[in-house]
Amino acid sequence: MEKVLYALWIDDADDGDSLRGALLSDFVPAALALPQVHGLRVAVADSAVRPAADKCMSTSGPLPSALLSVWLDDGWFRDALEALLPRQVSQLRAWLVSEAEPIVNTTQPPADDGRVPGFCQIAMLQRPPRLDRDTWLGIWKGSHGQVAIDTQSTFGYRQNLIVHDLGGAEGVELHAIVEENFPAEAMTSNHAFFAASDDATLEANYQAMMDSCHRFIDYDRIDVAVMSEYSFLPQRAH
């Protein structure tokens, strides 16, 4: 089984609610009915996450309106799936990824409509030219992930290493996409975002996170979006 990530754009970037409706009402049930599809995660930049808009960052063009995670028997055979995408999708990009899940969401189950509480912060990373691949991976996977866990209030955390660009709209070369689930209060509270009960902890956690990020991220080579997440995955046994 392979995981494919899709970034979707619509012409009206402020119409995320309409895109969400089309994805949930039509695309999701039709996609899950395909025999080669074994699970979906749908993230959409809708009105529910507008309070977190100040966390967005765009350095390479307009941010995507949605991010789809699809688990397929074979990531090279996607025509039937892509034919189901809503008509308002004007552009897409797709990547085959290798997913690691340092934090599995076991505490915030999806609601009946699939929505996971809080919001999902999505970071699209480009490896800085100053670092070779092994050094970059060693920092990101070998040490930064634990710093992120220790200094933030994430209850779900996924690291997607891009294995192959499957094409679509033109754009910068990406090397990884990170998905982090935060509680709703973290949309507007830095204390909640950085898991800090006081100002001293906030400052310490923020500084530790920034120091770690600077080791492997150049801030003119990163895009960050915030989205509502909907999960349509088989529940794990715990």
Residue 237 in any domain: the answer is no
Distance between CA atoms of residues 150 and 11, nearest Å: 38
Structure tokens at 228: 């509502």
Q: Evaluate whether 69 touches 32 at the Cβ level (below 8 Å).
A: no
Residue 212's domain comprises 2-228
Mean pLDDT (whole number) for 116-130? 97
Report pLDDT digits (tens) over 94-109: 999 999 999 999 999 9
> How far, in whole angstroms, is CA 38 from its chain's centroid?
19
Distance between CA atoms of residues 126 and 119, nearest Å: 23
Residue 220 in any domain: the answer is yes
Residue 236 in any domain: the answer is no
Residue 44 in any domain: the answer is yes
| HEC sequence for the chain | CEEEEEEEEECCCCCHHHHHHHHHHHHHHHHHCCCCEEEEEEEECCHHHHHHHHHCECCCCCCCCEEEEEEECCCCCCHHHHCCCCCCEEEEEEEEEEEEEEECCCCCCCCCCCECCCEEEEEEECCCCCCCHHHHHHHHHHHHHHHHHHHCCCCEEEEEEEEEEEEECCCCCCCEEEEEEECHHHHCCHHHHCCCCCHHHHHHHHHHHHHHHHHHCCCCCEEEEEEEEEEECCCCCC
pTM: 0.94
Mean pLDDT (whole number) for 18-33? 96
> How far, in whole angstroms, is CA 207 from its chain's centroid?
23
* Residue 8 pLDDT class (50, 70, 90 cuts): very high
Residue 174 in any domain: the answer is yes
pLDDT at 236 over 70: no
Residue 233 in any domain: the answer is no
Residue 86 in any domain: the answer is yes
pLDDT at 59 over 60: yes
Structure tokens at 179: 């998905």
Q: What is the mean pLDDT of the chain?
A: 95
| pLDDT in the model for residue 14 | 72
Mean pLDDT (whole number) for 143-171? 95
Mean pLDDT (whole number) for 157-181? 95
* Residue 235 pLDDT class (50, 70, 90 cuts): low
Percent of the chain with pLDDT over 90: 94
Distance between CA atoms of residues 156 and 181, nearest Å: 5
| pLDDT in the model for residue 170 | 87
pLDDT at 238 over 70: no
Q: What is the CATH number of the domain that holds 121?
A: 3.30.70.100
**Residue 161: other Cβ atoms inside 10 A:** 16
Mean pLDDT (whole number) for 148-172? 95
Which has more confidence, 196 or 236? 196
Mean pLDDT (whole number) for 22-34? 97
Structure tokens at 112: 């009946």
Residue 123 in any domain: the answer is yes
Q: How many domains does the chain have?
A: 1
